[in-house]
């Protein structure tokens, strides 16, 4: 009998897919990759997989690895897809594929199944990561299969299937939007959010953040320490990566930090609307940029900023395990070696305000930068600098004069 691993969440879709794969003759090994998503009872979720008939059911906590090896390098790149989105879902998918393939190797499965639709980005992220890690793996994507879509044209048919199979699911025939959560963020899309005239931040019942209007009326201060571009401490407390993100989620969340509403371009070609909240990562991006302003060479920072959209696009599309991204991650690791220091921020009703910053590697020299008299910068030197810089323009101006 053929066997496969299934990226399993315990929700309606993957519960149905688990049963359907068994109907199709597969031994199914359910893999729940714990990235901090909500679940009332993880053991009950895994027991449900076993009750449905999974050959095995494994829960693997990958929160630490995701924050340390995936989210923090992306943050060091200051990578934001289309200038806004912090890539919380995009970052999660390659590590889910990695863990599922590790289990596939352990149990001898030769196929990998997931519940991503044929319209979205996640199918790309799951498959591109899996095929890069194991080129021989067979991908099973039921939503891209016509016989599966014919059997389950809507949620009512899926719920009826679960009722017939005695599969317990908490689902209603309709809901206003869908959501996806991990410890980095929560995303909200589809349903009523597809109407661009619906106010997304009013429609969504946010799980991590209060609204800026409902945030406290007083400033909250937070201090973050970095070593070589990696956040290490919050308010003087040393924390492991995922604990640090969770701590900042709490602090940022109660101050209304980190909500966005955007229309983005999916890899498959369509535009879609997403509402996101990422309080902790939003704080980290801002604090990290503030510290870089002190410690990073101008030309190096500008090169990084030129390449940052390339990194964001690769992560969003699903090319995590690609030679180009390998090289770019090696580059940022070296570029960040002097980004060490402390940043003090004030949080107030969704705003992030810089209170102070310090670094043993600071390139800021008050004696050079001061606008007061004296100092170690001789303004007379600027005369020759500008004459040389302006030489091409003066020659061009004589040969091809501009109208003015």
**Strand 230-234 and strand 220-227: pairing?**
antiparallel
Contact 266, 318 (CB under 8 A): no
Give the catalytic positions in this structure: 13, 93, 122, 178
> Are residues 174 and 240 in contact, defined by beta-carbon separation less than 8 angstroms?
no
Residue of 299, 298, 302, 320 whose CA lies nearest to 311: 320
How many other CB atoms are there within 10 angstroms of residue 133's CB atom? 19
Phi-psi region of 287 (alpha: psi -120 to 50; beta: other; left: phi over 0): alpha
CB burial readout 30-53, b (16+ within 10 A) else e: bbbbbbbbebeeeeebbebbeebb
Phi, psi at residue 371, to the nearest 5°?
-90, 0
378: its two tokens: 């001789």
What count of other Cβ atoms lies within 10 Å of the Cβ of residue 399?
A: 7
237 - beta bridge partners?
234
Tokens 């863990």: give the residue.
99
Q: How far apart are CA 269 and CA 121, in angstroms?
A: 10
Query: Is 300 in contact with 335 (CB distance < 8 Å)?
Result: yes
DSSP label at 85?
B
Q: Would you tell me the crossing angle of helices 298-317 and 122-133 to the nearest 10 degrees?
A: 100
DSSP string, 192-240: GGGSTTS-HHHHS--SS---GGGS-SS-EEEEEEEETTEEEEETTEE--
Give me 176's structure tokens: 């206003």
Beta bridge partners of 7: 31
Alpha helices in 42-195 (DSSP H): 42-52, 63-65, 72-76, 88-107, 122-133, 146-151, 155-165
Instruction: Take residue 377 and report the two structure tokens written for it.
Output: 């910068």
């Amino acid at each position: 009998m053929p066997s496969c691993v299934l990226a399993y969440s315990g929700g309606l879709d993957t519960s149905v897919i688990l049963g359907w794969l068994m109907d199709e003759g597969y031994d199914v090994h359910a893999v729940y990759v714990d990235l901090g998503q909500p679940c009332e009872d993880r053991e009950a979720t895994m027991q449900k997989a076993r009750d449905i008939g999974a050959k095995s059911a494994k829960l693997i906590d990958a929160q630490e690895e995701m924050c340390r090896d995936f989210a923090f390098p992306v943050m060091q790149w200051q990578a934001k897809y289309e200038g806004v989105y912090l890539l919380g879902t995009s970052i999660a998918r390659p590590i889910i594929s990695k863990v599922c393939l590790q289990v596939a190797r352990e149990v001898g499965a030769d196929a990998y199944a997931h519940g991503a639709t044929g319209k979205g980005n996640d199918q790309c992220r799951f498959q591109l990561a899996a095929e890069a890690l194991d080129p021989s793996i067979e991908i099973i994507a039921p939503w891209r299969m016509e016989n599966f879509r014919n059997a389950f044209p809507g949620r009512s048919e899926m719920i009826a299937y679960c009722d017939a199979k005695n599969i317990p699911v908490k689902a209603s025939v309709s809901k206003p939007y869908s959501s996806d959560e991990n410890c980095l963020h929560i995303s909200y899309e589809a349903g009523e959010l597809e109407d661009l005239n619906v106010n997304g931040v009013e429609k969504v019942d946010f799980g991590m953040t209060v609204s800026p209007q409902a945030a406290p009326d007083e400033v909250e201060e937070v201090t973050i320490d970095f070593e070589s571009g990696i956040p290490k401490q919050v308010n003087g407390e040393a924390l492991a990566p995922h604990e640090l993100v969770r701590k900042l989620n709490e602090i940022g969340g109660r101050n209304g930090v980190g909500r966005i509403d955007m229309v983005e371009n999916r890899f498959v070609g369509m535009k879609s609307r997403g509402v996101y909240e990422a309080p902790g990562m939003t704080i980290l991006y801002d604090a990290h940029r503030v510290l870089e302003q002190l410690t990073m060479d101008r030309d190096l920072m500008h090169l990084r900023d030129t390449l940052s959209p390339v990194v964001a696009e690769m992560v969003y599309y699903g090319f995590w395990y690609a030679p180009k991204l390998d090289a770019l991650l090696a580059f940022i690791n070296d570029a960040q070696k002097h980004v060490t220091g402390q940043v003090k921020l004030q949080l107030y009703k969704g705003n992030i305000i810089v209170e102070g910053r310090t670094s043993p590697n600071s390139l800021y020299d008050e004696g050079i930068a001061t606008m007061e008299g004296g100092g170690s910068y001789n303004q007379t030197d600027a005369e020759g600098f500008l004459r040389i810089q302006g030489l091409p323009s003066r020659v061009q101006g004589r040969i091809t004069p501009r109208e003015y």
